[in-house]
A and B are shown apart, each in its own frame.
Chain A
Amino acid sequence: MRALLTSKWTKVAVFFVCLIPLCALVWRAFHNGLGANPVEFIQLTTGDWTLRFLVFTLSVTPLRKLLHLPDLIRFRRMLGLFAFSYLCIHFLTYLVLDQSFDFAAIWKDIAKRPFITVGFLGFLLLLPLAITSTAGWIRRLGGKRWQKLHRAIYFAAVCGVIHYYWKVKSDVRMPLFYGALVGILLLWRLGDWFFKRRSASGAKLSPQHAPANPAP
């Protein structure tokens, strides 16, 4: 398992798998498969994949610990960057095809409509994370500060779910589904943090119970 996870080729394979939704979209575009409202189809599909990749990214840490597979970390940055990439397509279709680069109208829309505001906020939160995703930036910021900054993904995911929930007219099943997934992943972190704090304070009293290899 370890060999598989650390293999360079696994990473390459995951990269191409992550590209499948985009390829499917392009294939559909050239085969009359985007339906009666292609722009909306692209917007909904890329929005969905943004949320899915945010969920995948947030799943990495819990899965690493629950399955005792620390090497899963090798895929986290790529998953996060795919979430951001699908979000960029999503946002670009809004800028270009919905608003035709009319920045006055866009600004008004962002200020006036909560579902646009919260979606845009999610984009703003992810933007610095995408920029500082490189090893160089981790070094420059220092691991602790970098990690603190990258907790912004929690808020971005919540923004994404609210954006979706406020967008639908009445059938809230899918937004609630993503809300539940994000909720579980964030609650797990809260539980993990709480448990670690307790065991850390316990460790002071009996050092032999301290975790041998504290997780980052």
Chain B
Amino acid sequence: MLVRKATDLTYADITPKQVYLNRRKFLQAMGIVSATAVAGRRLLELAAPSQTAFAATKFSDLAKSPFSTAEKPNSLQDVTHYNNFYEFGTDKSDPAKNSQKFDTSNWVVSVEGDVAKPRKFSMDEILKLAPLEERIYRHRCVEAWSIVVPWIGFSFSNLVKLVEPTPKAQFVAFQSYYDSKQMPQGRWAGIEFPYVEGLRMDEAMNPLTLLCVGMYGESLPNQDGAPVRMVIPWKYGFKSIKSLVKIKFQSKMPPTTWNLAASNEYGFYSNVNPNVDHPRWSQASERRLGEIFKRKTLMFNGYGEQVASLYNGMDLKKYY
């Protein structure tokens, strides 16, 4: 009898792609309360599943990272069907449905501002900028749920060094792609687009800060921020901006989308902090997807060893 060792398994072995795709379509088709119109459209999908869905590039020879957690990653199914990507709709299941036709070809990331060498990067250039690593990070949403994801990318500092920021550069501003034609659901999100985020320069240079191009051994699915996004594991998930098109180095603290929407609820820093509650819910605990009961939330999402020194002397109750 052939017994496969666990190390032989890849993410593809967790659940074959066709199986969970079919299961999802099946469940959708079985929705009992669906109006006939909705059911009809979904049945069409069932008959002809979009071929562009999951047209992923596989990455091989990924370097392992000392920053990876030993915790068990969530299933690809969970991470691709439970998303906050408000440009594609505000329901957790919306992005998986509405982002499938999102066109990410000819992607360009513009790097500008207080840098000696401003330039535009194509995706090919980004992929060759530094050796790709797999980083298994905890990811904690501000809504008190969390996941463990094997991201692929490299430290954002690699890109920073290449463009040579001037001494004036104290902050980095990030901007997401937005096109109301490709993202018609975005108009109901209740927040302004394009989505913007920002980091302090020392936060951006921290080796944990990841410029991310993939997950689970493949390029990023559209609903998870294709083709390139940021991942900042010690901050609430909304800081990890998706579908990145602009990076600007500047002297002033940049505005951030959720802070603009509700400044009393979402601060610029938004570090994971179990001691500072969201005004409307507690941040002391979180539900790891796949678990029933909640678990305690860790300060800086458990990355205090790497990042706590960035905030020495700061009152994190005030700078939430």
Q: Does A206 make an interface contact (CB < 8 A)?
A: no
- On chain A, the residues within 8 Å of B303 by CB distance are none
The stretch from A82-90, A109-117, A188-196, A207-215 touching chain B is: A109-117
Please tell me the number of chain A residues within 8 Å of chain B, measured between CB atoms: 30
- On chain A, the residues within 8 Å of B82 by CB distance are 35-37
> Contact between B280 and A167 (Cβ–Cβ < 8 Å)?
yes
> Contact between A24 and B33 (Cβ–Cβ < 8 Å)?
yes
> Contact between A113 and B281 (Cβ–Cβ < 8 Å)?
yes
For residue B191, which residue of chain A has the nearest CB? A170
> Contact between B280 and A171 (Cβ–Cβ < 8 Å)?
no
Report the minimum CB–CB distance from B237 to chain A (whole Å). 12
Q: Mark B256-295, 1 if CB is under 8 A from A, else 0.
A: 0000011000000000000001011110000101101110
- On chain A, the residues within 8 Å of B180 by CB distance are none
For the complex, what is the distance from the CA of A48 to the CA of B277, rounded to whole Å? 26
- The interface centre, meaning the residue of A35, A112, A167 with most chain B CB atoms within 10 A of its CB, is A35
Report the minimum CB–CB distance from B279 to chain A (whole Å). 8
Report the minimum CB–CB distance from B140 to chain A (whole Å). 14
| Cβ-defined partner of B27 (8 Å) among A31, A37, A114 | A31
Chain B interface main SS type = loop
| Cβ-defined partner of A40 (8 Å) among B74, B78, B79, B145 | B145
Q: Does A21 make an interface contact (CB < 8 A)?
A: yes
Q: Does B119 make an interface contact (CB < 8 A)?
A: no
> Contact between A109 and B282 (Cβ–Cβ < 8 Å)?
yes
Report the minimum CB–CB distance from A56 to chain B (whole Å). 14
Beyond A24-B32, A36-B92, A113-B281, whether A171 also contacts B188 by CB under 8 A is: yes
> Contact between A173 and B188 (Cβ–Cβ < 8 Å)?
yes
Report the minimum CB–CB distance from A122 to chain B (whole Å). 16
Beyond A31-B27, A98-B294, A109-B282, whether A170 also contacts B86 by CB under 8 A is: yes
Q: Does A153 make an interface contact (CB < 8 A)?
A: no
- On chain B, the residues within 8 Å of A21 by CB distance are 33
- On chain B, the residues within 8 Å of A100 by CB distance are 293-294
> Contact between B280 and A113 (Cβ–Cβ < 8 Å)?
yes
Q: Mark A159-197, 1 if CB is under 8 A from B, else 0.
A: 000000011111111000000000000000000000000
- On chain A, the residues within 8 Å of B81 by CB distance are 35-36
Tally of A-B Cβ pairs under 8 angstroms: 69
- On chain A, the residues within 8 Å of B100 by CB distance are none
- On chain B, the residues within 8 Å of A28 by CB distance are 27
For residue B185, which residue of chain A has the nearest CB? A171
- On chain B, the residues within 8 Å of A169 by CB distance are 90, 143, 190
Q: Does A39 make an interface contact (CB < 8 A)?
A: yes
| Cβ-defined partner of B280 (8 Å) among A39, A97, A166, A170 | A166
Q: Does B189 make an interface contact (CB < 8 A)?
A: yes
Report the minimum CB–CB distance from A54 to chain B (whole Å). 18
For the complex, what is the distance from the CA of A28 to the CA of B31, rounded to whole Å? 9
Report the minimum CB–CB distance from A41 to chain B (whole Å). 9
- On chain A, the residues within 8 Å of B27 by CB distance are 28, 31-33
- On chain A, the residues within 8 Å of B190 by CB distance are 169-172
Contacting residues of chain B (56-113) with chain A, CB-CB under 8 angstroms: 74, 77-79, 81-82, 86, 90, 92-93
Report the minimum CB–CB distance from B262 to chain A (whole Å). 8
For the complex, what is the distance from the CA of A173 to the CA of B280, rounded to whole Å? 19
For the complex, what is the distance from the CA of A100 to the CA of B296, rounded to whole Å? 13
For the complex, what is the distance from the CA of A198 to the CA of B219, rounded to whole Å? 70
Q: Does B23 make an interface contact (CB < 8 A)?
A: yes
- On chain B, the residues within 8 Å of A112 by CB distance are 277
- Contacts from B to A (Cβ < 8 Å): 23, 27, 30, 32-33, 74, 77-79, 81-82, 86, 90, 92-93, 143, 145, 188-191, 261-262, 277, 279-282, 287, 289-290, 292-294
New A-B pairs, 17, CB < 8 Å, besides A24-B32, A166-B280 = A28-B27, A32-B23, A33-B27, A36-B74, A36-B79, A36-B290, A37-B145, A39-B292, A100-B294, A112-B277, A114-B280, A115-B280, A167-B280, A169-B190, A171-B86, A172-B190, A173-B188
Complex A-B, nearest 9 residue pairs according to Cβ-Cβ distance, in ascending order: A170-B190, A36-B82, A171-B90, A36-B78, A24-B32, A171-B190, A33-B27, A36-B289, A170-B191
Can you list 11 residue pairs at the A/B interface with Cβ under 8 Å? A36-B77, A36-B92, A36-B290, A37-B289, A40-B287, A112-B277, A113-B282, A114-B280, A169-B90, A170-B261, A170-B262
